[in-house]
């Protein structure tokens, strides 16, 4: 773990957290597979939750160095598989039929990650080639052990370091626990894949394999086969004639579009979950971790990104305060200057010379200085942003996230923060008020009765009816009129 921390040039607080999490396993004497490189061996021995951490690092050669990033790529989809016989038994138990009756062909594992492994198969009835994903035996117990260790570490950190409580370590682990629980039920992953495919059906240069529901269950999921070159194999991409600069830009643009436009995005977009089809389309798969952000958060996120793009650090600071991301007792001007210190080096320096390790370290210092708490609703968004930018830069080190983000963010702002968006908001408000219309007299009467005396009883009832129907109708009418005026 110290190798990883040194490579990241991690701040002291993060080193303490890492040692606290790893210490119980060092005490147990878990040594791992000696044939693996040291860091890969350590993370693999610690368990599947730690492998997830390694997968994120594998996308950031600018943070951990190209050699370590290459070593960590093994964690994406090249871990030791379990046997074909065990996989077939799982499929038979889940689908209720012998494998030979369902699939005319069923290969050895073609990819193996921390949660599951994938087999290439052929549906007996139609001849269609599919990918069959099978959970690892005992994976639920293994993850439970890891997460329990994380809870122990979080409680220890909060106890020993009261200053760390602003980072809300236990809340972060609870969020992670919920994500993992969903990832261990492949029926939920199939539903995520189906929803994601529907949202992105019209996206140019992007594909999502079709879910085969009749061959899927809690521990088995079947998707259409994704034929293409792995996005992490630059030599293969070059040999196939693909434009890596365009691919890097498209990965970033697609992620931002999904996050802002749909509020629903693939939250595990490392190279092991992406391929490039012969026609240049990016194919995404493995939908166990998906991110969701509500419309209000999307607007805040877009304004922050847009402010950075325009280098309007004052507005970025104000948005942070308006959204409650920075405590109100802090100085907005001081925070704006701190953000300028983050943003200006990025804009004034070639992308290949930016040290993400130093940048992340400084951002950590800024959050500590201004008492910013961890926002669990943004964890997946922030994590995926780091991963996707790393994937794009592995394709082309000169990819600039701000140049790619500008048209996507500007388009979203035009659609969601302008006059038309205000009209849509008013219309939604009107519909809510209309639904509550029959209940308004009772709601107003209930509010007034807490204030009224016995002498005022009759007057109260009359005024409650007048106020609720009159004000309710006026609000609905005003909202509708304003919406029609703006949209016309």
Rg of the Cα atoms in the chain: 26
Q: Please, are residues 128 and 169 in contact by the beta-carbon 8 Å criterion?
A: no
The whole-number average pLDDT for the span 380-408 is 87
Active-site choice (77, 268, 286, 396): 268
Query: CA 54, 250, 109: angle at the middle one, nearest 5?
Result: 45
CA 155 to chain centre: 25
Question: Is 268 considered catalytic here?
Answer: yes
Per-residue pLDDT, 6: 53
Least confidently predicted of 181-190, 209-218, 435-444: 435-444
Measure CA of the first residue to CA of the last residue in the chain; give whole Å. 60
The whole-number average pLDDT for the span 120-139 is 95
Per-residue pLDDT, 352: 62
The whole-number average pLDDT for the span 409-435 is 75
Tell me the two tokens of residue 258: 């999904």
Q: Average model confidence (pLDDT) for the chain?
A: 81
Question: Buried b vs exposed e over 6-45: b needs ≥16 C-beta within 10 Å?
Answer: ebbebbebebebbebbbeebeeeeeeeeeebeebbbbbbb
The structure's pTM equals: 0.76
Rounded (10°) angle between helices 12-28 and 356-369: 100
Residues 184, 197: Cα–Cα separation, whole Å: 21
Q: Please, are residues 64 and 4 in contact by the beta-carbon 8 Å criterion?
A: yes
Q: How far is CA 321 from CA 48, 248, 327, 337, 390, in A?
A: 37, 33, 7, 14, 29
pLDDT (tens digit, 9 = 90+) per residue, 347-390?
766 566 666 556 666 777 788 788 888 777 778 888 888 889 88
Widest distance between CA atoms in the chain: 89
Percent of the chain with pLDDT strictly greater than 70: 77
Domain ranges of the chain: 2-79+140-180, 227-417, 419-487
Rounded (10°) angle between helices 169-183 and 379-395: 70
Q: Is the pLDDT of residue 215 over 80?
A: yes
Q: Is the pLDDT of residue 186 over 80?
A: yes
Percent of the chain with pLDDT strictly greater than 90: 39
Q: Is the pLDDT of residue 459 over 60?
A: no
- How is residue 78 annotated by DSSP? B
Q: Is the pLDDT of residue 64 over 80?
A: no
Residues 273, 286: Cα–Cα separation, whole Å: 6
Report phi then psi at 224, rounded to 5: -60, 145
pLDDT (tens digit, 9 = 90+) per residue, 238-290?
999 999 999 999 999 999 999 999 999 999 898 989 999 999 999 999 998 89
Residues 167, 364: Cα–Cα separation, whole Å: 10
**pLDDT-based confidence at 27, cuts 50/70/90?**
very low
Q: Hey, which residues does 235 pair with through a beta bridge? A: none
Least confidently predicted of 153-157, 210-214, 320-324: 153-157
Tell me the two tokens of residue 30: 């878990």
């Amino acid at each position: 773990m110290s190798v990883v921390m040194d490579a990241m040039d991690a701040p002291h607080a993060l080193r303490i957290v890492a040692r606290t999490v790893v210490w119980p396993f060092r005490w147990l004497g878990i040594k791992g597979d000696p044939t693996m490189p040291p860091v890969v061996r350590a993370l693999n021995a610690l368990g599947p939750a730690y492998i997830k951490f390694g997968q994120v690092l594998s996308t950031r050669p600018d943070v951990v160095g190209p050699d370590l990033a290459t070593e960590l790529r093994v964690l994406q989809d090249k871990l030791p598989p379990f046997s074909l016989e065990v996989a077939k038994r799982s499929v038979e138990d889940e689908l209720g039929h012998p494998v030979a009756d369902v699939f005319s062909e069923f290969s050895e594992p073609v990819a193996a990650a921390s949660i599951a492994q994938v087999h290439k198969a052929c549906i007996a009835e139609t001849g269609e080639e599919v990918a069959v994903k099978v959970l690892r035996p005992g994976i639920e117990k293994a993850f439970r052990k890891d997460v329990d260790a994380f809870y122990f570490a979080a409680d220890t950190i909060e106890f020993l370091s009261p200053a760390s409580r602003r980072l809300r370590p236990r809340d972060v682990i609870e969020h992670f626990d919920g994500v993992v629980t969903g990832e261990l039920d492949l029926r939920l992953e199939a539903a995520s894949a189906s929803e994601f495919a529907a949202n992105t059906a019209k996206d140019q240069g992007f594909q999502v394999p079709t879910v085969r529901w009749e061959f899927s269950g809690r521990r088995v999921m079947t998707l259409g086969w994704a034929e293409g070159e792995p996005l992490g194999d630059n030599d293969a991409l070059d040999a196939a004639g693909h434009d890596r600069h365009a691919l890097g830009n498209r990965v970033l643009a697609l992620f931002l579009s999904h996050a802002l436009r749909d509020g629903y995005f693939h939250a595990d977009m490392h190279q092991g979950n992406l391929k490039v089809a012969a026609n240049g389309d990016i194919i995404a798969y493995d939908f166990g971790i998906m991110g969701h952000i509500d419309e209000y958060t999307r607007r805040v996120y877009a304004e922050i990104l847009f402010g950075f793009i325009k280098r309007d650090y004052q507005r970025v600071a104000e948005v942070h305060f308006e959204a409650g991301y920075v405590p109100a007792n802090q100085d907005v001007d001081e925070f704006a200057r701190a953000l300028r210190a983050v943003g200006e080096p990025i804009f004034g320096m070639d992308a290949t010379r930016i040290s993400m390790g130093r940048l992340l370290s400084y951002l950590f210092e800024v959050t500590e200085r201004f008492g910013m708490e961890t926002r669990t609703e943004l964890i997946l968004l922030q994590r995926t942003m780091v991963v996707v930018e790393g994937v794009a830069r592995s394709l082309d080190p000169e990819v600039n996230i701000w140049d790619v983000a500008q048209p996507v963010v500007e388009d979203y702002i035009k659609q969601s923060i302008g006059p038309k968006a205000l009209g849509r908001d008013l219309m939604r408000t009107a519909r809510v008020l209309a639904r509550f219309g029959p209940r308004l007299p009772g709601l107003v009467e209930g509010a007034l009765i807490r204030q009224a005396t016995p002498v005022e009883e009759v007057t109260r009832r009359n005024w409650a009816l007048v106020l609720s129907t009159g004000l309710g109708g006026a609000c609905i009418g005003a909202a509708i009129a304003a919406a029609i005026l703006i949209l016309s």
